[in-house]
Structure 1
Amino acid sequence: MEKNKLVELTNEELQIEKKKLKKRKFLKALLIGILVGVLFMLGSAIVHYESPFGTIPIFLLLFIIFKIAKSPDKDKTLEETLKERNIN
């Protein structure tokens, strides 16, 4: 959310946004964990079968993982607004 929109929200609405933030962080971590597990399984299959074309899916998975991990966090502005208003 934009900083201007967050300033206009009431404390109750900010707490609702905070709950959504927790869910997003959890789902993001879960998705990254699942993809890392798939990455290790794929890596072990490539090593076992000595497939020369197996590196392509590994690079695709790494790209997806890094895109998810480094996605532009609009949550930082929400966290800053929560700290400004002392909402825990």
Structure 2
Amino acid sequence: MMLKEPAELTDQELLEQAKKVKTTAFFDALIFGMLAGIAAYASVKNGFGIFTFLPLIYIPIATRNKAKGRAIENALKERNLK
């Protein structure tokens, strides 16, 4: 299934996507926090290594999710649904 752009979604679909964006943002923060904790623990315990830079791997994914969220928020504001 191809993902539609926010401008192509109906009002109901847009509201459903907005709910998903909130949970996605929460899980992005949770995952990034866990990865940062693992990196800090690994750095203290074993010195610098591969786990030290582990959070850097997740940054592009979280950035892409945040951009999608902003697009949905802008579409909600344009349609006065928020």
Q: Which residue is equivalent to 1:32? A: 32
Matches within 5 A, 1:18-57: 18-47=18-47, 54-57=48-51
- Counterpart AA for 1:87: L
**RCO higher in structure (CA 8 A, sep ≥6):** 1
Question: Is 2:38–2:51's contact at 8 Å kept on the other side of the alignment?
Answer: no
Question: Is 2:43–2:52's contact at 8 Å kept on the other side of the alignment?
Answer: yes
Deviating beyond 6 angstroms after TM superposition, the runs of 4 or more aligned structure 1 residues are none
**TM-fit CA distance, 1:77:** 1.6
Q: Report how many aligned residue pairs link the two structures.
A: 79
Question: Is 1:2–1:77's contact at 8 Å kept on the other side of the alignment?
Answer: no
Cα distance change of structure 1 residues 33 and 17 upon mapping to structure 2, 3 Å threshold: same
**TM-fit CA distance, 1:38:** 0.8
Superposition TM-score, scaled by structure 2 size: 0.75
**TM-fit CA distance, 1:25:** 0.7
Instruction: Calculate the aligned-residue CA RMSD, in Å.
Output: 2.1
Runs of 5+ unmatched residues, structure 1: 48-53
Identity %: 34
Candidates 62, 65, 77, aligned match of 1:83: 77
